[in-house]
Structure 1
């Protein structure tokens, strides 16, 4: 099962496909040899991190998930708020779009190309949801030389202040998704190891004393 991709299929097609896929997995866990009572984690990188944040909000408010809630969010270098929708109270904290506008691997121009939705729609900019309470625990990975850096750091704090359990790792001086492009460097190896630790941490939030196989 795959999501239809932009730009041929504009927003919210990909989001709706992701959410329907999530529901399918929920209803067919046995076919996948999965046990959701051991942990039900959603996750993604970059635009996938954005989808993760949005589907977590949708699922929180959807009676379909009342007896099978998502137990964790893994957000790797996520897009959290459209650069044209930065709330006034946070603008002084959201400077990385300009600071890293010419960053390698992913720059300001690339960032704008990723968006086609109304910037102020929370399903495009999940930072703008009126409430972040009662969301599942979240683990975030943030790159220091990334236009998305500050919104990820801010989102971790907003979640934490709403009572959500969070954990975050920041990788100074490296660009967006650097571990794909420069996988041989020590920081990329640390990133991959941290992802495993982050997943273990998320599982431990829902099922005490989980012995991770990662």
Structure 2
């Protein structure tokens, strides 16, 4: 869509009647006596909903899925799942898409990006690598993002065996924390002159600008973190909420892609999907602007009246079906030359 006015952004924070009915009927209630019980409860909550997803499970007639152990820089290993199209690559070869899951750097696993990876392999002929990076609080910053960078290097190094051709398209993507990781890695690859270059970044409801680092001229455009209190999933973001678990370096470009000291010129084009009720809405709008001002091509979809991760928590909604359809269209756009 065209760049939004501030009035349109603020209006998107009015709750959709369809969404209100859904979350009042079935509230998102993830609880436990400690953090680890909450992590397990989140996984169980989403598992009960996946039969409602547009692709509810493996599609063995279209996509081959294999598990791999990837070495990390500290001598450990992480798991990745690779998705390859059965019908073979499109003309020119299969693009390589790296996906990083959501969960606040402290929750989530491979199941969170199964749907997207299966869809991209089946419908776009891409080879997808779904990364299960290590989680906080057991593994504090920057272990998770380092794992994702190590997985990218592994995938490119082994692209022949994976039947991928990253020179015809290399995409990084993810939702929420995974969107932050994708934005960070897109910038890191530019700084490191990584080859082949990352050509696109899929930034879905992403975390992009910590509240501690908001430039002094922007607070009036950075209000959704505290004012978007109707989001039924995040229910507002209190200062320090994420940092307490993940433990990031506040000034590190591995944490804050918006404030990158070298700016944003030269990174791959970006596709955003953002909820109007989402406390993370405003930083996505600001990041879209700073990318465009740096000469980066962007595409931005704003879902008025809907909140953070609404399509996974309420997959039966018409808006959720449309969101997934938009995901495919947007990632296809990222792959266009």
TM over 0.5: yes
Take 1:111 and 1:71, find their aligned partners in 2: how far apart are those partners?
33
Structure number with bigger Rg = 2
Between the two proteins, the alignment pairs up a number of residues equal to: 203
- Which is helix-richer, 1 or 2? 1
Give 3-state SS (helix, strand or coil) of 1:57's partner: helix
Q: In the TM superposition, what whole-angstrom CA distance separates every residue of 1:94-150 from its partner, at most 9, and x where no partner exists?
A: 010111145211133477432221333222111001310000000011101111000
Q: What is the aligned-residue RMSD (CA, Å)? A: 1.4
Structure-1 residue corresponding to 2:267: 135
Structure-2 residue corresponding to 1:78: 206
1:47 and 2:177 matched: yes
Structure-1 residue corresponding to 2:257: 126
Give 3-state SS (helix, strand or coil) of 1:42's partner: strand
Take 1:14 and 1:125, find their aligned partners in 2: how far apart are those partners?
14
Structure-2 residue corresponding to 1:15: 145
1:27-176 equivalent positions in 2, closer than 5 A: 27-63=157-193, 65=194, 67-101=195-229, 103-109=231-237, 112-115=240-243, 116-130=247-261, 131-176=263-308
Structure 1 residue 197 displacement after superposition: 0.4
Q: In the TM superposition, what whole-angstrom CA distance separates every residue of 1:23-80 from its partner, at most 9, and x where no partner exists?
A: 11111111211111221100000000000010111100113x1x41111100100000
Give 3-state SS (helix, strand or coil) of 1:103's partner: coil
- Check whether the contact 2:212–2:250 (CA below 8 A) recurs between aligned residues: yes
TM-score (norm 2): 0.58
TM-score (norm 1): 0.90
Structure 2: where are the runs of 5+ without partners? 1-78, 80-131
Take 1:199 and 1:155, find their aligned partners in 2: how far apart are those partners?
18
Structure 1: where are the runs of 5+ without partners? 207-214
Take 2:173 and 2:239, find their aligned partners in 1: how far apart are those partners?
20
Greater shift in the superposed pair: 119-128 or 86-95: 119-128
Paired residue for 2:319, among 169, 172, 187? 187
- Check whether the contact 1:80–1:152 (CA below 8 A) recurs between aligned residues: yes
1:25 and 2:150 matched: no
